[in-house]
Amino acid sequence: MGVTVSLAQPRHSLGSPDIQPQILVLKEGTDQSQGKPQLISNINACQLVVDAVRTTLGPRGMDKLIVDHNGKAVISNDGATIMKLLDIVHPAAKTLVDIAKSQDAEGKKIKINPPAPHSSDCTWNYFHLTLVFCIKKVSGGALEDSFLVSGVAFKKTFSYAGFEMQPKSYDDCKIALLNIELELKAERDNAQIRLDNVKEYQKVVDAEWQILYEKLAALHASGANVVLSMLPIGDVATQYFADRDMFCAGRVPAEDLRRTQRACGGAVLSSVRDMKPDSLGRCQQFTEKQVGGERYNIFTGCPAAKACTIVLRGGAEQFLEETERSLHDAIMIVRRTIKNDAVVAGGGAIDMEISKHLREYSKGVAGKEQLLVAAAARAFEAIPRQLADNAGLDATGLLNKLRQRHHAGDVWYGIDIQKEDIADNYVNCVWEPAVVKINAITAACEAATQILSVDETIKNVKSEAPPQMPGRGMGRPMMG
């Protein structure tokens, strides 16, 4: 960082006593801002970020359309998602983005297994004790076409000719989960087989077929109705299973196979020798169902674990993504509430109650600190005020009603969007997890303290890269 700093020197007899030499402490060209203007600049930058997301608050909040540098459009009213997508460069405003990310992670702690890159079928899996939960997205149709599967569901994989003849439904189904390739393959590169005559070559071919048929016969003898494998299942195996009223699917994603194994039991086998009955998974019913332009394999009545899959439908990709985010947030909040069963009333009720306590506390504080506490009390009223504004209600009138109610001891009264009035939100089951609210208030206070404590910003000048010599093409003589 380069800043020119003037340091006062002691007066001496040589030269003028008023001349103070300038000493270059930091790199020349460094941008330096300090004092009250810098503090105001930091506050204004944070206020701009707040203005960008405040209209998304509440059930009547508006959406934001964000286009990244690659031209991808994202439509969302989730504040944390918007903060992540905003390309914020102001140092103080970036503090709010970091806090929003940490708060979002704290409120929705869970293990998320994202889909593979470039996957058109998005899958998020949530594992909690014996619960297996998954969200799938299928383009087409309307949101009302979405449905819940009380089990495991995943998109049907590529199948060879012959799969049309296989049954598409079973009751009391037995499932073989494999990590085995069931097809004849070409030899690897540089593989050599030295033979003396054609008969020996035929023996090699017959041995390959024999090995494949032994695997297929072992699967049929095990009593399995459905065969799932992470590796390919060829046309010969597909026709073999079809002739014996068995269903098969190859190239099943490892995540889907693992969910099926956790829900239906059994084990993922790397060999079919000595298969035991407990190696097979089980479910009450298996069906293959057409969903939009895709076919889905659905397993219900899974005994090993409680499992469910939500299949979301929608016309636009952005709409599906936003629906998934909203559903994900709702599930995480419910999970957080179950894990920490302390809740407070939402709709601005707890914010108004905190504001009332701070306002009463400020009356007993002497000096200028009283103004600070009163300002914090007003800040807490921003939540119910914004909820009312976003719903198109009279925010001033509703806040006056809330102040009167909370002064009378009705601590759970907040904004009721449906009735366009105030109501006891605890009775109406409008709740927030107490741990999430505590974390939000703590993070907000830390952010305000940090931003107000910064009175100087020193931005280092970008270093100039040395010019690169042009490359020498093929056949081009070296410059000498």
Residues whose CB is less than 8 angstroms from the CB of residue 304 and which lie 6 or more positions away in sequence, other chains included = 130, 262, 263, 264, 265, 281
pTM, two decimal places: 0.66
Cβ atoms of 101 and 83 closer than 8 Å:
yes
Q: Where are the domains of the chain?
A: 129-339, 344-433
- Identify the DSSP state of 80: H
What pLDDT, on a 0 to 100 scale, did the predictor assign at position 188?
A: 53
pLDDT higher than threshold 60 for residue 119: no
What pLDDT, on a 0 to 100 scale, did the predictor assign at position 478?
A: 54
The pair of structure tokens assigned to 367 is 């000096």
Side chain identity at residue 120, one-letter code: S
Q: What confidence category does residue 243 fall into, taking pLDDT thresholds of 50, 70 and 90?
A: very high
More confident of the two residues 282 and 479 = 282
As a whole number, mean pLDDT of residues 403-431 equals 93
What pLDDT, on a 0 to 100 scale, did the predictor assign at position 129?
A: 42
What pLDDT, on a 0 to 100 scale, did the predictor assign at position 128?
A: 44
| Average pLDDT of the chain, as a whole number | 81
Percentage of residues in the chain having pLDDT higher than 90: 34
Strands 343-345 and 169-178: unpaired
What pLDDT, on a 0 to 100 scale, did the predictor assign at position 415?
A: 95
As a whole number, mean pLDDT of residues 428-451 equals 88
- Dihedral, CA atoms, 284, 290, 294, 296, nearest 10 degrees? 0
What pLDDT, on a 0 to 100 scale, did the predictor assign at position 466?
A: 55
CA distance 319 to 113: 21
Burial profile 233-264: b = 16 or more Cβ within 10 angstroms, e = fewer:
bbebbbbbbbeeebbbbbebbebbbbbbbbbb
As a whole number, mean pLDDT of residues 30-44 equals 75
- Dihedral, CA atoms, 191, 194, 195, 200, nearest 10 degrees? -50
Note the Cα 448 to chain centre separation in Å: 27
Burial profile 153-168: b = 16 or more Cβ within 10 angstroms, e = fewer:
bbbbbebbebbeebee
Strand partners, 421: 416
Main-chain dihedrals φ then ψ at residue 413, nearest 5 degrees? -80, 130
CA distance 166 to 177: 18
Under CATH, to which class is 129-339 assigned? alpha beta
The answer regarding whether domain 344-433 maps to CATH 3.90.1300.10 reads no
Segments of 292-363 assigned E as strands: 294-300, 306-314, 343-345
Per-residue model confidence as pLDDT tens digits over 295-346 = 999 999 988 777 889 999 988 888 888 888 888 888 888 887 788 888 999 9
Q: Which of 197-206, 234-243, 282-291, 471-480 has the lowest mean pLDDT?
A: 471-480
